[in-house]
Amino acid sequence: MNPKRSWAILLLLFSLSVCTVARADSTGIKFVGGQPFFNVPAGPVTGTAGAPGLAQSDWNNLFGNNGSANNLVNSGGQTTGIDLTWSSVDTWQALTGAPATQDAQLMNGYLDNTIQVSASGIGYGTYDVVVYFNGDTPDEDRVSQFQIGSTSIFARDNSPFSGTYIQVASTSNADLGTATPAGNYVIFHDVSGSSFTLDATPGSTLGTPRAVVNAVQIVSTPEPTSLLLSVAGLFCLAVSRRCRRQ
C-alpha cells in the first residue's frame, strides 16, 4: 500500500474516533406538572421527545411545583453529576385528555407563574439551555421573560402545541405585547460555567400574567478540537482519494 495512503487512512480513523467520543451530549428535564383532579392528569415522558435536532430519550421526570433532584441522567441513561432545584407558584397542564404523542406529553404539564430553575455540577465546557413552554390558555397571548445571567429572551404563547416546534429567536429581547415573537421554545446559546439559574417571570398578557416552563434541556456544544479534527478527517479523506488515483 502507498505510504501516503496508509498515513492518511490512519489519521482519518483517529480523527473520527476522537470526534465520536466528543459528540454532543444532552440532559433533559421534564416538569411533569398537572393536578390530580384532571380527568387525565399530566404524566411523565417515557420515550423520545424534543425539538428537531434536539430530540432525546431518558428524560428526567420531576414532580411538584418545587423540589430538588441529584445526579440527573443524560440522553444515554448515564449519570451526569448534574443537580437541580426548582420552584414555582403552581403546576398545571395544557391538555385535559390523553396526549397523542411523546412530544405532546413533553408540552403538556408545566411549572406555572413565577419560576426559578437552578442547575449545578455541569461538566460540559459550553452548552446550550433549551426552554420549552406551552400553556393552557394561548388565547391570552401570555409573554414570558426567560433569563439566564444578563441575557433575557421574551416569548409569547399564542397557540396550543400541535406537534410542531417553533423557536423564538434569542434576539427577542423586549416585551412587545402581542407583537412579541410567538413560539414554544427558546435556546440560550453557549452558556459556560458549572452552574446556571433560569428565571421565568410573567410579562404582558390579555389575561392573567403567568410564565410557563414545561421542560429544559442542557445540551453540550462541540469543542473546538472536535471541529478541527472533523476538518482534519475530511482533509485526510481527500488525500486518500488523491493517492488512489496516483
Measured at the CA of 130, the angle between CA 128 and CA 134, to 5 degrees, comes to 170
Q: Check: CB of residue 145 under 8 Å from CB of residue 162.
A: no
* pLDDT value of residue 235: 44
> Which residue in this structure is represented by grid cell 488525500?
239
Grid coordinates belonging to 184: 414554544
Overall size of the chain counted in residues: 246
d(CA 16, CA 21): 9
Beta-carbon contacts of residue 239 (< 8 Å; ≥ 6 apart) = 4, 8
* pLDDT value of residue 81: 97
- Of 13-27, 76-90, 149-163, the range with the lowest mean pLDDT is 13-27
* pLDDT value of residue 51: 98
Per DSSP, 223 falls in state P
Q: Which helix H or strand E contains 12, and what residues bound it?
A: helix 3-21
Average pLDDT rounded to a whole number, residues 122-127: 95
Question: Beta strands of the chain (E only): which ranges?
Answer: 26-31, 60-62, 66-69, 83-93, 109-120, 126-132, 142-148, 151-157, 185-192, 196-202, 212-213, 215-220
State the pTM of this model. Answer: 0.84
The answer on pLDDT for 237 being more than 50 is no
For 161-207, the pLDDT digits (tens) are: 999 999 999 999 999 999 999 999 999 999 999 999 999 999 999 99
Q: Check: CB of residue 94 under 8 Å from CB of residue 161.
A: yes
* pLDDT value of residue 242: 52
Measured at the CA of 101, the angle between CA 97 and CA 106, to 5 degrees, comes to 85
The answer on pLDDT for 8 being more than 60 is no
Grid coordinates belonging to 54: 434536539
Beta-carbon contacts of residue 7 (< 8 Å; ≥ 6 apart) = none
Q: 245 versus 192: which is more confidently predicted?
A: 192
For 71-116, the pLDDT digits (tens) are: 999 999 999 999 999 999 999 999 999 999 999 999 999 999 999 9
What is the percentage of the chain residues whose pLDDT exceeds 90?
80
Nearest in space to 31 (alpha carbons), one of 123, 132, 124, 128: 132
* pLDDT value of residue 222: 81
